[in-house]
Amino acid sequence: MFGLMDGFLKNDPISLQKDILYHVEYTVARSRFSFDDFEAYQALAHSVRDRLIERSHDTQLFFKRKDPKRVYFLSLEFLMGRSLSNSVINLGIRDQYAEALSQLGFEFEVLAEQEGDAALGNGGLARLSACQMDSMATLDYPAWGYGLRYQYGLFRQVILDGIQHEQPDFWLNFGNPWETERVHVTYPVKFYGTVEEEILNGEKCNVWNPGELVEAVAYDNPIPGYGTRNTITLRLWAGKPSDQRDMEAFNTGDYINALVSRQKAENISSVLYPDDRSYQGKELRLKQQYFFVSASIQDIIRRFKDAHSNFDEFPDKVALQLNDTHPSLAIVEVMRVLVDEEHLDWHKAWDIVCKLFSFTIHAVIAEGLEKIPVDLLGSLLPRHLQIIYDINFNFVEELKKRIGLDYDRLSRMSIVEEAAVKTIRMANLSVVCAHTVNGVSTVHSELLKTKLFKDFYELWPEKFQCMTNGVTQRRWIVVSNPSLCALLSKWLGTEAWIRNVDLLTGLREYADDADLQQEWMMVKKVNKMRLAEYIEAMSGVKVSLDAMFDVQTKRIHEYKRQLLNILGIIHRYDCIKNMDKSQQSKVVPRVCIIGGKAAPGYEVAKKIIKLCHAVAEKINNDSDVGDLLKLVFIPDYNVSLAEVVIPGADLSQHLSTAGHEASGTGSMKFLMNGCLLLATEDGSTVEIVEEIGAENLFLFGAKIHEVPELREKGPAHDVPLQCARVLRLIRDGHFGFQDYFQSLCDSVEGEDFYLLSSDFGSYLEAQAAADKAFADPKKWTKMSILSTAGSGRFSSDRTIRDYAEKSWGIEPCRFPSEF
């Protein structure tokens, strides 16, 4: 029965129980006769980890034997959230664990709540990386994720008197049971210093003598696939003092200072930058980028060289994916290693490098592109600056041959920007080198071709591709919405949709079925109850389950227009106040839920949070309004809160000014959970409309091509009356903090760059349409079923298959066993 191929660990409830108790006694070091929920969680996590480790060993050995082309996913950010439920579900042993625990007197769900989030990222880009890792594992791709092990992840948001305060995220304080520190997988990373030309074996060669050395140590995090034994690795690097440098200091006798300066190395990976708006040219950020890139590239080359001796084969065995420009120094680093250390001829090296990289960009506007001041780069990475200049020289020479001496265009396309502060345009570097340049939605990919990278598109149209984003149904349905999961499997007659999400379209034929509708509404109710309980526990606000739960959760940004939402809520409040009782009886009750973090230095975003609280305070305490309208702000929105909020939403809002959201992935999670969308025709919404039909969501607002003209009209002359009235209420101090909010009102009545005033009327119409639909439960439920049924295209499984086939040129490599 027991074959070595299946591993040592058994998964029946009795064996699981023994393993948990073993870890209570020997890993957590508590008595197996007395331990609390947290200790039980730790022991449980370690027993799951054992199973993950076994699978990841098997996977790695299998990859080693088969030696397929591998993809390395390089990202400075991964928003993984919690791992426990996701792991046991992907391993297919959740029920066995639940039974084992219940015999020990514990409840699986309660223990799962003990886990903190791994929040090593800001928002969309970072959660996308996490979803894509899940899909790469599930689809059996030979893939690795590489990132940084920040000691402090994204700040915790604490609200005091409606104002956001940032507190450190001490996520490692109680240990991290999922990771394995690889004390022997370490690489030296060099900084500063000088470059000397030397003659080696009769050849000129550049030698970089660094001024600082830091050691990178690997921490491996297993990523299990669903329905497969394959378990891939997310390798995160942490900074460690280098012994080499210290030895010198010790030799010169400065013992105390040598020890104190060791501490500095750890700073490199200590904190995640929490601002996802602009690049500030901070040295530490650049250090983080290079530290991560250098360690990853050394690791990748080491693995390649274990099995190969000729770099001609490198592109046949390795694909490198750049998640935005943040890791794009990797291009320069591979050049440096090939030319300076492996002594390849420059042109040969460049030829190889150009076959390795695919580049995905997540920004929409030029201001969002990363530029590194030349002075900064030259001092931290002197040899890399030289290489960039050489790459640029060759590129510009080539370009002159292709386009002639069009100096405007040459200077727009140059990797080096000659402005007041001379900078390196990392996006241009990436486009020049990568063989594919991907947008994250159809609309975004078109924008890249016609605006952001127009000049490059004309030169190399074949490089440009679209890889519409997706999210993983394992986390966003199976883990976070078990009731919906069970219902889907029942009506589809199979669990196969968990690996093959296109099967969800099978629901369409039952969209009118009274039984399905009944069960569908019950599922939503269960999830609304869970969310309502959370809201009451967190804010003391009691909400009615009959109300429409209307949610907008995402990072706070002007372009995402949380302000439009709040102005709409004030309008609704004002209308209710001016109604008589009989009119009020026709109002569809609403619970408006807003959540999200503002970058610490983003004053306008912080004001919007404050306004939300001020309005909530007024509305929630107004007895004229009662259950007709409530407003709650959910503090510290993160992945694990999203798992509670999203399944409980009836309606979700995606309000970006058209042309500003590259894709948006929150909407896809809501869609999968049968939540209706109220949205502008921006980013991936355009494709969602194609899948589910415009009649199944509430669209509003200016379209992308209308935006420039509306802006040109200049400052809003004709603010709609309803909008003006709402702004007047704020300006007159109806919600207090009169002076503080004036500037928010000015922004709408003045330049109105984000078009709140011009979209306001259309927004209210869409809201009215949503009210009307909600008042007809059959209609609403049908729309909800059709939303889930049409969500298959937005699975990250589809995205990853696209990447594998169109960008990376890799194939599945599945461990040959039942999992």
Q: Which residues contact ligand 26V (rule: CB under 6 A)? A: 122-125, 128, 273, 275-276, 279, 285, 324, 362, 440, 469, 661-665, 683
Secondary structure in 3-state letters for 504-532:
HHHHHHHCCCHHHHHHHHHHHHHHHHHHH
Q: Are 494 and 503 in contact (CB under 8 A)?
A: yes
Sign of CA dihedral 218, 222, 223, 225: positive
Q: Are strands 548-553 and 590-595 parallel, antiparallel or unpaired?
A: parallel
Catalytic residue among 94, 560, 571, 613: 560
Q: Is 57 a catalytic residue?
A: no
Per DSSP bridges, beta strands 212-224 and 231-241 are: antiparallel
Of 360, 332, 425, nearest to 71 by C-alpha is 360
Q: In this complex, which beta carbon is closest to ligand 26V, that of residue 286 or of residue 748?
A: 286
CB of 246 to ligand 26V, least distance (A): 31
Q: Which of 156, 524, 554, 654 is catalytic?
A: 554
Query: Is 450 one of the catalytic residues?
Result: no
Task: Give the nearest distance from C-beta 125 to ligand 26V in angstroms.
Answer: 3
CB of 683 to ligand 26V, least distance (A): 5
Report the C-alpha gap between 228 and 641 in whole angstroms.
Answer: 28
Q: Which is nearer to ligand 26V, 128 or 332 (CB)?
A: 128
- Taking the complex as a whole, the smallest distance from the CB of residue 432 to ligand 26V amounts, in Å, to 21
Q: Is 355 among the catalytic positions?
A: no
Axis crossing angle, helix 603-620 with helix 562-577, rounded to the nearest 10: 20
Tell the smallest beta-carbon distance from residue 608 to ligand 26V (Å): 17
Please indicate whether residue 581 is annotated as part of the active site: no
Return the axis-axis angle of helices 756-774 and 562-577, rounded to nearest 10°.
Answer: 60
Residue partners of 576: CB distance under 8 A and separation at least 6: 584, 587, 624, 625, 628, 629
**Catalytic entry in 27, 472, 665, 680:** 665
Q: Name the residue whose CB lies closest to ligand 26V.
A: 124
Residue 49 annotated among the catalytic residues of the structure: no
Q: How far is the CB of 272 from ligand 26V (least distance, A)?
A: 8
Q: Which is nearer to ligand 26V, 287 or 336 (CB)?
A: 287
> Smallest distance from the beta carbon of 323 to ligand 26V, in angstroms?
9
Q: How far apart are CA 671 and CA 784, in angstroms?
A: 8
Amino acid in the structure at residue 712: E
* Residue 23 CA neighbour count, 13 Å, CB half: 19
CB nearer to ligand 26V: give 125 or 672. 125
CA quadruple 763, 769, 774, 777: dihedral sign: negative
Q: Which is catalytic among the residues 610, 669, 782, 793?
A: 669
Would you say 368 or 635 has its CB closer to ligand 26V?
368
- Rounded to whole angstroms, what are the CA distances from 50 to 22, 44, 75, 465? 12, 10, 27, 40
Q: Which residue has the tokens 């007024």?
A: 618
Write down the catalytic residue from 69, 463, 555, 606. 555
Q: What angle do CA 599, 601, 604 make, to 5 degrees?
A: 80
**Shortest approach of ligand 26V to residue 108 CB, angstroms?**
32
Is the CB of 27 or the CB of 423 nearer to ligand 26V? 423
Per-residue exposure over 530-542, b if at least 16 CB sit within 10 Å of its own CB, e if not: bbbebbeeebeee
Give the 3-state secondary structure of residue 278: coil
Active site residue 23: no
Q: Which CB atom, from 62 or from 273, has the smaller least distance to ligand 26V? A: 273
For residues 282 and 302, which CB has a smaller minimum distance to ligand 26V in the complex?
Answer: 282
List the catalytic residues: 362, 554-555, 560, 665, 669
